[in-house]
Amino acid sequence: MTETAEKRSVVVEADMPYPVEKVWRALTDSECIALWFMKNDLVPEFGHKFTLRSRPIERWDGEFQCQVLEVEENQKISFAWKGGHPELKAFGRYIDTMATWTIAPNADGGTHVRFDHDGFDTSEESNGCYEAMTKGAQSIMRTLNKMIPDFDE
């Protein structure tokens, strides 16, 4: 019998005063994403492999390898998110997770935004990574909300 390791998720939600189309562009346009999150080569097409580029830490090159798993225009984009290094002690070593951005219109013309980052190990050695990703998700949601007005159509 095979045991499945327990996993945990980071979930962050916010209501933003922008129309769905504007939020969707901010979440799926590579140039916009680079301004509020990380440099990247995302193309919002099923199966597309891309890299999120952060700053290098310890022996890690700062790159996350990703692949688009689902795209529903103006509604949802999901992607596999992998990266790290076996000796990356300060950050929690290596992650093999899935990220999903889901958006829906609000009655006031704004947009409800939800970010789910699933698949974090529950081991003690992964606590640093989980905590960093939780704080990071909260921070990027605030940054996204502030920067959307700067993205031209």
- Say how far apart CA 35 and CA 92 lie, in whole Å: 26
3-state class percentages of the chain: helix first, strand second, coil last, to nearest 5: 30, 40, 30
- CA 153 from chain center: how many Å? 22
Asked if the model's pLDDT at residue 110 lies above 80, the reply is yes
Strands of 63-72's sheet in order across: 7-16, 111-121, 94-105, 76-84, 63-72, 49-53, 39-40
Say how many CA atoms lie within 13 Å of 80 toward its Cβ. 12
CB 129 within 8 A of CB 95: yes
What is the distance of C-alpha 91 from the center of its chain? 16
| Residue range 74-94, pLDDT digits in tens | 999 999 999 877 766 656 677
pLDDT per residue as tens digits for the range 22-57: 999 999 999 999 999 999 999 999 999 999 998 887
Check pLDDT > 60 for residue 2: no
Q: H or E element: which one contains 14?
A: strand 7-16
pTM of the model: 0.90
Question: Residue 91: what pLDDT?
Answer: 60
